[in-house]
Structures are given as C-alpha cells and as structure tokens.
Amino acid sequence: MKVSIIGAGNVGATCAQFIAMKGIVSEIVLLDIAEGLAAGKAMDLAQSMPALGFDTLIYPEVDDYSKTANSEVIVVTSGQPRKPGMSREELVAVNVSIVESVIKNAIKFSPKAVFVIVTNPLDTMTLVALKASGLPKNKIIGMGTILDSNRFRYFLSKKLQKPINEIEAMVIGGHGDTTMIPIKELATYKGIPISEILTNEAFEEVIKETMVGGATLTKLLGTSAWYGPGAAVTELVDTIVNDKKKLMPNSVYLQGEFGIDGVCIGVPCIIGKHGVEGILEIKLSDSDKIKFINSANAIKEVNGLI
C-alpha cells in the first residue's frame, strides 16, 4: 500500500511522520519542488524509526511523479500557508495554480487514487482539484472540518476541564474563520449533551475560540499549524486505506444535499476505500441552516476568483 504526499513542508512532513508511526501503509512517497527538502525530511524521519519502532519505507522525490505511481491515496499539502493577520482566503491566487498542476501530474500515475486536499483556502482548492482531476466527486476529499472538530473538542475539554477523548463534537461548513459551524446539539461529554452542562455564554465563547483556532495558532507560530492538521489527515488516510466506513466531516462536492449545489463544503460523510461513500444529511437547527447557507455563499464568492 502506498500513499503519496505532495508538499513536504510542515504539514506534509507531519502527515508522513504520523502515517509512518501508525504503520498505516508500507510505502510513503514524499514529493516537493524544493531541492533537498523531501530528501532531508525523509532521511531524518527514517533515522527516527529504530528508536520509535516503525519501519515504513519513505521515498523522497523532487518533482518526479512517476515514483508516486499506483498510490491508494494522494495527499495534497503543497502551497503557501498564511502568515499572522491573513485569512485563508487570501491564499487563493497563489495556491490555485499549484493545486491544479499537482493534481494533473499526480493523476497521470495514480488514476484510481483517492485525493485528500489540504491546501488552503480548503473548500475552494477542493473544487479546483475536482475540476482539474476530472474524477468522480467521491474521489476528492477536502480535509478541514475534521481538524476543526478536534479543535472544538479541545476548547470544550479546556472549558469543562475534562479529558478530550471523553468529548464528542462536530464542526461542519467552510474551513474558514467566519464560515465554520460548530454544532452545539452534537457536542457531548460521556454521551451527555454539553448544552446541559455549560452555560450558553460559556458555550458561545468556546465556539468563537474554535472558529479562530487556526488563526490563533498562526499568530503564535508565525505560520500555520501542523500537528493537528497532520493528525487529522492521518485519521482520514487510515479511514480510506483500511475501508473503515467512518462518519467524519469533510469538504465534498454537493449537488442538492442540504439544499446546496455546486460547492465543496464540510458535511458529515461516510468515508471508506472509495472515498466519500455517503453524505449524512443531519437535521440542523434553524440558525445553523442559515449559517450553512451563508457559509456556502461565502465559499462561492471565493470560488468566483478562480
């Protein structure tokens, strides 16, 4: 089993690290256009294996896609990250041509792969990938709201002072500071609705922290995050490769679901070896329905720039 990661920067290399450490596949190809970067990261990672007890083969490549041939999954982490003070949407002009060229190169050698898109602005880049690939929509998955959901769980765990793994929560909508929608009704602690435990004011604070979670990290780090993103991609890749049929929110192309047409946006979907194997049209509150429509319209506006 082979996974190729295109873009060996902070997020791509962390994906390689976590995927290797979890032993999800036997081979990882780490490709970048920057001379030396993929080679250095792959060598460094390989030298960590004896101490940590894993032995995935990691092949570095500089722009030679033939080595990615017959990958089960292609992860696209190539492109610029934002700097403090920027929105993700401001990256659209610089990243659109990168994603287009990466997809066109990768698909020549792995026409059956499922593509996981990570580059921002995520929902627009997922649409760019869908169009550039010509693949059926189930093969193109944008990873954003898995990460947002994990951040929602983190801020809830901090507020409640409870272990994060006892908390379930989901974010849908766009992967943007103003477009994501943390769903109150689905947040639970040990199965108990968190709305029964937290005051409305405290819950709203958590929602605000979640929505700017990526921006907060970007301000602290001077560039955007990588551990949370790398872990979320790893969970998604594991779900695809091992055909887990798991319910997880991802950006997928909608054609009428939730009353939305022609955009990629985060919705709960069943993920397995064929990629998106179903979309679950959960019942939204009236206010979340409005937020979802506004989110889709905001994504459409950015899509208009490509």
Ligand X SMILES: NC(=O)C1=CN([C@@H]2O[C@H](COP(=O)(O)OP(=O)(O)OC[C@H]3O[C@@H](n4cnc5c(N)ncnc54)[C@H](O)[C@@H]3O)[C@@H](O)[C@H]2O)C=CC1
**Which residues bind to ligand OAA, rule: CB under 6 A?**
81-82, 88, 120, 147, 175, 214, 217-218, 224-225, 229
Strand partners, 117: 76, 142
Q: Are 1 and 26 in contact (CB under 8 A)?
A: yes
Question: Which partner in ligand X, ligand OAA, none is near 218 (CB below 5 to 8 A by kind)?
Answer: ligand OAA
CA distance 123 to 298: 10
Nearest distance in Å: CB 23, ligand OAA: 26
**CA 231 – CA 21 distance, rounded (Å):** 11
CA angle 194, 276, 150 (to 5 degrees): 30
165 is in an annotated binding site: no
* 175 is known as an active-site residue: yes
Q: Taking CB within 5 to 8 Å according to partner kind, which of ligand OAA, ligand X, none is near residue 24?
A: none
| 137, containing H or E segment | none
Least gap, CB of 134 to ligand OAA (angstroms): 26
Rounded Cα distance, 91 and 88, in Å: 6
The residue with tokens 């064929």 is 274
Strands 275-279 and 171-173: what pairing?
unpaired
Residue 8 assigned ligand-binding role: yes
Which residues on adjacent β-strands are paired with residue 234? none
Count Cβ atoms within 10 A of the Cβ of residue 27 and give its class: 0-12 exposed, 13-18 middle, 19 or more buried: middle
Residue with structure tokens 């190169």?
105
Binding site for ligand X (CB under 6 A): 6-12, 32-34, 37, 77-82, 91, 95, 98, 101-102, 118-120, 122, 143-144, 147, 175, 223-226, 229
Q: How far is the CB of 16 from ligand OAA (least distance, A)?
A: 18
153 marked as binding residue: no
Q: Tell me whether residue 96 or residue 183 sits nearer to ligand X (CB atom).
A: 96
95 is in an annotated binding site: yes
Q: How far is the CB of 47 from ligand OAA (least distance, A)?
A: 28
Q: How many CB atoms lie within 10 A of CB 69?
A: 15
Among residues 173 and 214, whose Cβ is nearest to ligand OAA? 214
Q: Which does 37 bind (CB under 5 to 8 A by kind): ligand OAA, ligand X, none?
A: ligand X
The residue among 95 and 124 lying less far from ligand X, judged by its C-beta, is 95
Residues recognised as catalytic: 175
Residues tagged in the binding site annotation for NAD(+) = 7-12, 32, 95, 118-120
